[in-house]
Amino acid sequence: MKRLTIQAAIAVVAGALLLAPSAPAQTTPAQTPQANRAANPIEVGTVDWSRDLDAALASSKESGKPVFLLFQEVPGCSGCRKFGREVLSQPLLVEAIEDEFIPVVVFNNRSSGTDKKLLDKFGEPAWNYQVVRFLDADGSDIIERQDGIWSVGGIASRMIQTLQQHKRSVPKYLQTVAAVANSSAQNQVAFAQHCFWTGEANLGGIEGVIATEAGWLEGREVTLVRFDQESVSLPSLAQQAARVRCADKVYTRQGRPLAGLRGGVLGRSYRTASASDQKRQLSRWPAITRLPGINAMQLTKINSLASRNADSAMEWLSPRQRELLSQP
């Protein structure tokens, strides 16, 4: 089968959107008017929330989607506002919450009414920091309740865990959100090769690679690679780099050579290459770099696949990003 170019892949997406039949209007817990989203209290971000848990559970039973149940203080403290502003407004996270889950919010500082009844039902403390619970259609926790998860990476990781436990597929774009944010598991290494354009293209597609950058070290073209040590070890990454002829020399923080490969120190002498040399495979499609929420891992994977398998490259974008890209 002939591979699509990025430009052709965009055209295919656009055509599919134009030819798709219009969906009938629906009233579900996960859908609220755009105006309501804009009017959200800052503490709950830009997610389209439902306030009706019973309706959400019914929708969950019909669709199979888990319920994303947020207990939040509204109006809330500075920490609650920060959570809404930074976590619940992150474009890719918001998209995943709305598309892969059924989002419901409960105000934890109400002393009566439905909010108070739900606090009592789930044993949640009043006036507490935000807590997210993930429910099945019966209202039971899919994964164990956990407090103190207040970061983009933390919420994304819990969402992935929930989808896996619930036997639902995990979108690639959501995987990138969690991976990019998990800085504690990341490490860096630089590989020398004859051309860093080739280095970014070949190394970016390796499993566990989060981001690549074209640079200079010891007067040589190198590709700086940020990788997830929980997904790929440094020796394994170096071996894979060598197989695609992108490991003439391997620079690490310690400078110790890896088996069969020349080693050097990755230190202050490293210099980033010019902007025009970065992600060279994407240079003809600058619109991709301007998509809302686009992250380093998405750009790295798309750059790696762009010239070889553009239809697969597009899979790293979220549906809303693809829709925006298809617009004239």
Beta bridge pairs of residue 223: 191, 214
**pLDDT per position as a tens digit, 140-150:** 999 999 999 99
Residue that wins the pLDDT comparison between 135 and 306: 135
Percentage of the residues of the chain whose pLDDT score is greater than 70:
89
CB atoms within 10 A of CB 281: 21
Q: Same structural domain for residues 144 and 252?
A: no
Q: Are residues 160 and 197 in the same domain?
A: no
The SS3 of residue 153 is: helix
Residue 254 sits in a domain whose CATH number is: 3.30.1060.10
DSSP class of residue 66 equals: P
Q: What is the pTM of this model?
A: 0.85
Contact between residue 44 and residue 83 where contact means Cβ atoms under 8 Å apart: no
Cα distance between residue 34 and residue 36, in whole Å: 5
Asked if 198 and 301 sit in the same domain, the reply is: yes
Number of domains in the chain: 2
Q: Compute the half-sphere exposure of residue 264: CA atoms within 13 Å on the CB side of its CA.
A: 18
pLDDT of residue 86: 96
Instruction: Please say which residue of 112, 142, 170 terminates a domain.
Output: 170
Higher pLDDT, residue 27 or 230: 230
